[in-house]
Amino acid sequence: MILDTPALVSWLEDLAEAAERDGFQVVRWGEAGGLPLLGLVRRSRPDRARIYLSAGIHGDEPAGPLALERLIREGFFSSNPETTWTLCPVLNPRGWAAGKRETPEGIDINRDYRRFLTSEAIAHAAWLRTRPANDLYLSLHEDWETEGFYLYEIDPRERPRFGERIVNRVAQVIPTESREELDDHRTAAPGVIRHPPRPDEMENWPEAIFHTNLHPHLSYTFETPSALPLEARVRAHMLAVKAAVSLFLEEWRPGER
C-alpha cells in the first residue's frame, strides 16, 4: 500500500485528529521533505509505566502505521489510562510516499542511529533525548523474506522474558516463522530471537539499539511477513502490541525503573 504525498498528508492529519480526540498531545518534532514527523504523547502519573511504540521506519512496511492508527481509533491506549504512551506512527514518511524501504537518498534510517546521516534520525534522536526514560519499547516491522511472524527480544539483563507468549498469541491470526535462523540470527524458540543490547555492526545502529543504550529497558521488534495480505499483517501487529502490553503490565511494579 503506497500513499502518494497528498494522500499521506491527509492520512497524517486524520491520524492526528483521531489521536487528539483520544487524549493524545500531537508533537511535531521534525519534518522531512515537507512531511511532518509526529509524536503522539498521552501522559499519566510520573510513577506509572511508560511505553513507546514506533512504526513506518521502512517505507515499504505499511502494516505497522495502519495498526497503530487502528489501535488509536478503537481506544486501546485510552483503555490503559495509567500508562504514559509515546507513539511515533511514521518515522519515514518520504519512504512510504515512494514505496521504498529507505529514504529518497537511499539510506536505511533503521541503520542510522549512530552515524546520523538522515534528517529523520537526527531529529528523532534529538527529541527522544528530551523525553523521560521508557520502560517498554515496541517497534512494528515487516519482512519480505519470511512466511510467518517473529520478533526480536532485547532485555538489558539478558534474561528470557515473554517473547514466546507473544508469538503464541499472534499465532491466532498468522503462522509463526519456523526457520531456526532468521536475518543471520539463531532463534531461541520458534519465532523468537533474543538479541543482546549491542549492535550487530558497530556503525549501523537500529532504532531499537539506540533506545536500549539511551535508557536500558525491555524491547520488542515485531516482524510480519510482507507476502501475507495487508489486513492479516495489521491484525497480527495489533495482537502483538496488545499481548506485549498486557504481559508487561502484569509484571511491572511502580519504582522498578
From first to last of its 257 residues, the chain has per-residue pLDDT tens of 778 889 999 999 999 999 999 999 999 999 999 999 999 999 998 889 999 999 999 999 999 999 999 999 999 999 998 999 999 999 999 999 999 999 999 999 999 999 999 999 999 999 999 999 999 999 999 999 999 999 999 999 888 899 999 999 999 999 999 999 998 899 999 999 999 999 998 899 999 999 999 999 999 999 999 999 999 999 999 999 999 999 999 988 776 65
CB 167 within 8 A of CB 151: yes
> Strand 150-154 to strand 181-182: parallel, antiparallel, or no bridges (unpaired)?
unpaired
Contact 217, 52 (CB under 8 A): no
Domain boundaries, the chain: 5-251
Contact 90, 57 (CB under 8 A): no
- Taking the C-alpha atoms of residue 124 and residue 88, their distance in angstroms, rounded to an integer, is 9
Cα–Cα dist 134/192, whole Å? 22
pLDDT for 158 equals 82
Per CATH, domain 5-251 is 3.40.630.10? yes
What is the model's pLDDT at position 27? 98
pLDDT at 257: 52
Q: What is the DSSP letter of 149?
A: B
**pTM of the full structure:** 0.96
Compute the distance between CA of residue 155 and CA of residue 164 in angstroms, rounded to an integer. 14
Q: What is the pLDDT of residue 43?
A: 93
Smallest CA-to-CA distance from 176 within 236, 247, 219, 231 is with 236
Q: CB count, 10 Å around CB of 196? A: 12
